[in-house]
Amino acid sequence: MFNSYLEEIKTYEAGKPIELVVREFGIEAKDVVKLASNENPYGCSPRVIEAIQKGASRASLYPDDSMYELKEALSDRFGVGSENIIIGAGSDQVLEFISHVKLNQNAKILRSAVTFAMYDIYAKQFGAKIVITPSFKHKADEFIEKIESENPDIIYICTPNNPTGDATKREDIFAIIEAAPKESLVVVDCAYMEYVESDAYRVTPKDFLAYENVIYLGTFSKAFGLGGMRVGYGIANRSIIDVLYKVRPPFNITTLSLLAAIEASKDIDFVKRSVAGNREEMLRYEAFANEHALEYIPSQTNFITYFLGEKNNSSQIAANLMKQGVIIRDLASYGLNAVRITIGTAEQNSRLFEVLANELV
């Protein structure tokens, strides 16, 4: 009755919500520590909260569908034109637009061995084939080999990568882009780029504007702290953006989301403070790993992935932590005996270390 290729899809398993822990384990919401979805533990800019409160009565009005002001803010921030920008309900929606314009049952996507789960889900929605590089690091030579042998329609570079936390060097990103045929679209998913410190790894949308087959994706959900508002963007050569607009529904973000993202764009200092807090707390996560002989990949994001070794089971540990009100992300579904933990506030992290230390054998 339905498209047969949809049978391949395992629905996306989102990080467990606080409400679930409250319901199932009777823990009060204020005592739940949620470190599972890479949200900003410092919340969002106070200016955003004020703006949403002041703007609440506009809930009855459709948003400005041109999203003029938000595009102006992004074009100032990145030095690109408004015509180079498309806004989505999260960058997830931009991924969906991209899939609409590139994929069908004869198409292929290429991705690294362990990366953002939505790439596969969108590919499967269109019956496309998924081609995977051998390594979970993004290795340029592996990508280039698969590009040559498989001729993929979309090539995903997730940098820094979720759920491993490592980033891809600029030179490797460009090596992959240069190897991509004109007909394949290279998607550079930069959901965590605000956390990257090293120039060798940092890319900006402007780097890719000259290419007619590369799109940069960014989001307000992570460093800007607006996960609940659902605002992301794609920035690319106009030839790409114009096509994506054909599949965008009108009013695809809400009036209050639009207002929130505009206001958040004016408070880059909030992002800087969040990144600085993250960096400081990351050192504690590295120290904890060393102390407990856990392997980890140095992270350029607001999360860290711990590999648990033979004695500990990631699903068991995540389940046991949840019973104590601490939510982390089990990576068993990625084929890893590992957990991904969002770097929280100092207090949240202390609680995590306490309960995790008790569980580790």
Interaction site with ligand PLP (CB under 6 A): 90-92, 116, 158, 162, 189, 191, 219, 221-222, 227, 232
Supply angle C-alpha 186, 78, 260, rounded to 5: 100
Measured from the CB of residue 89, what is the shortest distance to ligand PLP in angstroms?
7
Measured from the CB of residue 132, what is the shortest distance to ligand PLP in angstroms?
16
Measured from the CB of residue 239, what is the shortest distance to ligand PLP in angstroms?
23
Using the minimum distance from each CB to ligand PLP, give the nearer residue, 219 or 274.
219
Using the minimum distance from each CB to ligand PLP, give the nearer residue, 152 or 165.
165
Supply angle C-alpha 58, 225, 72, rounded to 5: 60
Using the minimum distance from each CB to ligand PLP, give the nearer residue, 22 or 117.
117
In whole angstroms, give the CA distance from residue 269 to residue 261.
15
> Which residue has the CB atom at the shortest distance from ligand PLP?
90
Which stretches within 237-296 are classed as H helix? 238-245, 255-265, 268-291
Contact 188, 132 (CB under 8 A): no
Measured from the CB of residue 111, what is the shortest distance to ligand PLP in angstroms?
11
Measured from the CB of residue 163, what is the shortest distance to ligand PLP in angstroms?
8
Using the minimum distance from each CB to ligand PLP, give the nearer residue, 156 or 285.
156
Q: Does residue 329 sit in helix, strand or coil?
A: strand
Using the minimum distance from each CB to ligand PLP, give the nearer residue, 41 or 90.
90
Using the minimum distance from each CB to ligand PLP, give the nearer residue, 92 or 281.
92
In whole angstroms, give the CA distance from residue 135 to residue 141.
11
- DSSP letter, residue 51: H
Query: How do beta strands 303-307 and 338-342 pair?
Result: antiparallel
Burial of 286 (0-12, 13-18, 19+ CB in 10 A): middle
Q: Which residues contact 69 (CB under 8 A, 6 or more apart)?
A: 258, 262
Measured from the CB of residue 261, what is the shortest distance to ligand PLP in angstroms?
11
Using the minimum distance from each CB to ligand PLP, give the nearer residue, 27 or 193.
193
Q: Which residues contact 286 (CB under 8 A, 6 or more apart)?
A: 296, 298, 304
Measured from the CB of residue 220, what is the shortest distance to ligand PLP in angstroms?
7
